[in-house]
Structure 1
Amino acid sequence: MIRNAVEQDLSEILTIYNDAILNTTAVYHYDEKTIEERKSWFAGKMANQEPVLVYEELGKVFGFATYGTFRPWPAFKYAIEHSIYVSSTGKGKGIGSQLLKELIDIASERGIKTMVAGIDTSNPASIALHEKFGFTHSGTIQNAGYKFGRWLDLAFYQLDFPGPKNPVEG
């Protein structure tokens, strides 16, 4: 089941996120995050009315997804960048697809124009997932990061929506 996250989910969200930090190139961080950092992150998401979704089954969180502002300048207010993380035990079960579909529905309903995904090019499963939902490749920044003793290339994919009926500046 997909639902809005609550503060009690943050421990499981943290476990999933820290696993991604330590064992994948899905996150370009080196060090694990703390529960205090996740609480601050969550409070910021709630203050900005940005969704934080969890996929829960039998009382356990197997994945989470969110989005936030693509860039912090006013003209980017109709563009968002999203993140999806699935636990190692939840991979291959369609959880990422369900979370992405829900994020797409929310973004579309809220009048977002463009949803962006930054994906490490060594993650073909994530690229395939996004292409399945209609995301198109927008460009790749070569050597954007360095982790696990190698240079990492970051591909950007985007999905466009109709956007707001009456977009405004400012």
Structure 2
Amino acid sequence: MSSESEEVQVRPGVEADLTALTDIYNHYVLETPITFDTAVFTPEERRPWLLSHLEDGRHRLIVASTENSQRILGYATSSAFRAKPAYGTSVEVSVYLAPDAGGRGVGTLLYEALFEALAGEDLHRAYAGIVPPNEASLRLHERFGFRYVGTYREVGRKFGRYWDVAWYEKEL
């Protein structure tokens, strides 16, 4: 895949990516209802999140970057769905792209790599919460076989209004 004449590299996330990943996430905190965090993070505050996504196991962090400049274009994660042990074979997945990286197939590359990495793990289901309207996210998840299972109505308040979260699941 070509992006601004540079190939996109998809790889596990590493600690050196922390500042760029935090910047991408903070864009969504400040500008969108996609995450229900309401205050930006410093890289140091995000370090535990990064360290909870190992290079193997159920909880992964996959990063897309430009091969030549090493600019981070986005990332995908699989994280704990819920904290209780019986939920252990379920993960919540998400993709966050740099504001100028959408519409170029980066999300598809990230999910391809994430689901390939998870294929050998003891996992049963992946879940994704999408705050409507978000057609790009909906199309991406449907492309990977997610199906709609229900909506939590007005479950989060951000920017002075309530937002729904539509939930999708995929068999692993």
What secondary structure does 1:36 align onto?
A: helix
- Tell me the distance in 1 between the aligned counterparts of 2:158 and 2:45: 22
Count matched residues: 161
Q: Displacement, 1:64?
A: 0.8
Distance in 1 of aligned mates of 2:109 and 2:161: 32
Please tell me whether residue 10 in structure 1 is matched to residue 18 in structure 2.
yes
**Alignment partner of 1:136 out of 147, 161, 165:** 147
2:158 matched residue in structure 1? 147
| Counterpart residue identity of residue 130, structure 2 | I
Distance across 2 between alignment mates of 1:158 and 1:94: 21
2:36 corresponds to which residue? 28
What are the Cα deviations for residues 16-74 of structure 1, in whole angstroms up to 9, with x where unaligned? Answer: 00001111111111110111111121122239842111101031101011111111111
Give the alignment's TM-score, normalised by structure 2: 0.88
CA displacement at 1:119 relative to structure 2:
0.7
SS in 1 for 2:101: coil
1:114 alignment counterpart:
125
1:42 aligns with 2:53: no
Instruction: State the secondary structure of the residue aligned to 2:38.
Output: coil
RMSD: 1.5
Name the counterpart of 1:166. Answer: none
Extract unaligned runs of 5+ from structure 1.
Answer: 162-170
Task: Give the Cα–Cα distance (whole angstroms) in 1 for the partners of residues 156 and 122 of structure 2.
Answer: 32
Gaps of 5+ in 2: 1-8
> How big is each residue's C-alpha offset from its partner over 1:88-110, in whole Å with a ceiling of 9 and x where there is no partner?
11111111111112112222221
Amino acid at match of 2:12: N
Q: Tell me the distance in 2 between the aligned counterparts of 1:44 and 1:23.
A: 26
Aligned to 1:66: 77
TM-score normalised by structure 1 residue count: 0.89
42, 50, 54: which is aligned to 2:63? 54
Correspondence 1:89-100 to 2 at 5 A: 89-100=100-111
Counterpart residue identity of residue 19, structure 1? H
